[in-house]
Structure 1
Amino acid sequence: MSVDKQSCGYCPDSSYVELAVEVFGMLADATRVRIILALQNAQELSVNSIAEAVDKSPAGVSQHLAKLRLARIVATRQEGQKVFYRLENEHASRLVADAIFQAEHSLGGTPRHHHADRVSE
C-alpha cells in the first residue's frame, strides 16, 4: 500500500512535493485564481472574455494565461487569429475551490459551503 501512495505522491519524501509547491506558487496570484474561476464555469473563453470577467487588461491576462499554460493548468485551441482557453483538467479548479472554502473558515461562524441548502457551483 505504501508503494501505491508513494507513486501518487502522498509520502512526505515524495518528489511530487516540490512540484505541488510549484502549483501552489502558480496559484498564489489573485488574477490567476480569478482566471480559473472564470474558466471553471465555461467550456472555453477568449483572452478578451477572460479579461472582461476578471476586470483586467487583455495584455495582463494574456501574460497570466501564458504562465498557466506552461504549468499545464490551462490548454488552448486556436480558431483563425483567436485563441480560446480552457482548464486542462478539474484539479486546479478544485484547488481554488478548496482554498476559497478554507478562506471562508477564517471568517468565523458556519461557512457558506457547509450549509445544506447551498447551491452547487
Structure 2
Amino acid sequence: MAKVLGRLISKECRAGRWKGIRIVAGVDPLTHLQFADDTFLAGEASAREARTVKQVIDKYEHVSSQKVNWLKLEIFFFNTPPPKQREITNILGTLPSNFLSVPLFGGTNKSTISKHLVESCFNRLE
C-alpha cells in the first residue's frame, strides 16, 4: 500500500498542487518518506498544500481501506507564523504538535514556555 500513497503524492506534485520542500537545488523536492508503518509527509506551509495533503490522505484511506490514526499525527512547522500554523492545523483537523512537551506554536511568551520546559525537565529527574 505504500506505493499507492507514493503514486497519489506524485500525481499531485506533477499537477503542481503539492510542492514538498526543496532541500538541495537541482534535486526533486522532498514530499514523503516511508519506513515500515510510519510515514513522514513534507510540504510548504500553505492552506492550499494542506488541503491537498488532506485530500491525498482521504483518497488513500478510501482506496486502501486503511485508516490513518489521526491521534498519532504530528505537525512540525519551521519559520511559520502562529496564525498560519493554526490555519493549517484546522484544515488537517489535528492538534498542534509538541517538542519537549512544549507546544510548537504556543505564542511568543518565552517565559511561560521556558517555565514549562524547566518544570518538565525537573519532573523527569525526580
Fold conserved between structures, TM > 0.5: no
Pick the structure with more helix per residue.
1
Q: Please report the TM-score for the alignment, with normalisation by the length of structure 1.
A: 0.29
Q: Please report the TM-score for the alignment, with normalisation by the length of structure 2.
A: 0.28
